[in-house]
Each structure stands twice: as C-alpha cells, then as structure tokens.
Amino acid sequence: GQQVMQIPQYQHVQEGEDFTTYCNSSTTLSNIQWYKQRPGGHPVFLIQLVKSGEVKKQKRLTFQFGEAKKNSSLHITATQTTDVGTYFCAGPLVKQKLVFGQGTRLTINP
C-alpha cells in the first residue's frame, strides 16, 4: 500500500557530529512536512516543502525535497544535545490523510 518510509530508525552520534535522516514515499507528494518529537512530548511542526528540488534552512537544519517529489532529507550540522528527539517526515499520500514515516530517533552523546 501507499506509505512513507524513513531511515534510519535510530541514530546515535557524538555531540558536534552531523546527522541525516531520509524519507521516501511510494507516490509523488504535493508537499512533505517534517516534525520533531522530544522524549515524552508531542510532534512539533518544523517545516513544509512544496516545490520540486526545494531546499530550506533553519539555522543548523537543512531540509531538501527531491526533484521527483518522492523523497526528502533532513540534515543537522554539528548536533547539540537540544537536538535529541525523534524526527518524522509526513506527506499527504491521500487527500486529507497526512501519513507519517516511522521516524528517526536521534540520541546524542555529550
């Protein structure tokens, strides 16, 4: 069935190292959204990408939307302990149904 796949499932890094999570959809998406969920918290919206090949930056975070609008990535430069959490991508595979990837759980060794 239609789904959004995200890898890796877990990532442990040393503070200061970079981190990347990848998202792939089985279908072309009208947009891709990224969320962050801190341990014990709820998902918080980070950004939405709409255009083919779009790249957006938020401080140390860089988000990309693939040319075919079926894949996306989130890259964090020089991780900090505040980056700990689970990062989810999400896309509207079907109208009015936002489907989330399984998430990448990031842990950081200070």
Partner 1 sequence: KAGVTQTPRYLIKTRGQQVTLSCSPISGHRSVSWYQQTPGQGLQFLFEYFSETQRNKGNFPGRFSGRQFSNSRSEMNVSTLELGDSALYLCASSALGTDGGYTFGSGTRLTVV
Integer Cα distance of 48 and 9 in angstroms: 21
Instruction: Name the residue with tokens 């999570």.
Output: 21
| Residues 19-48 contacting partner 1, CB under 8 A | 30-31, 33, 35, 41-45, 47-48
Q: Which is nearer to partner 1, 59 or 97 (CB)?
A: 97
φ/ψ (deg, to 5) at 32: -130, 135
| Residues 67-106 contacting partner 1, CB under 8 A | 88, 90, 92, 94-103
Residue 56 tokens, joined: 């957006």
Question: CB of residue 78 vs partner 1: minimum separation in angstroms?
Answer: 26
Question: CB of residue 57 vs partner 1: minimum separation in angstroms?
Answer: 17
Cα 110–chain centre separation: 22
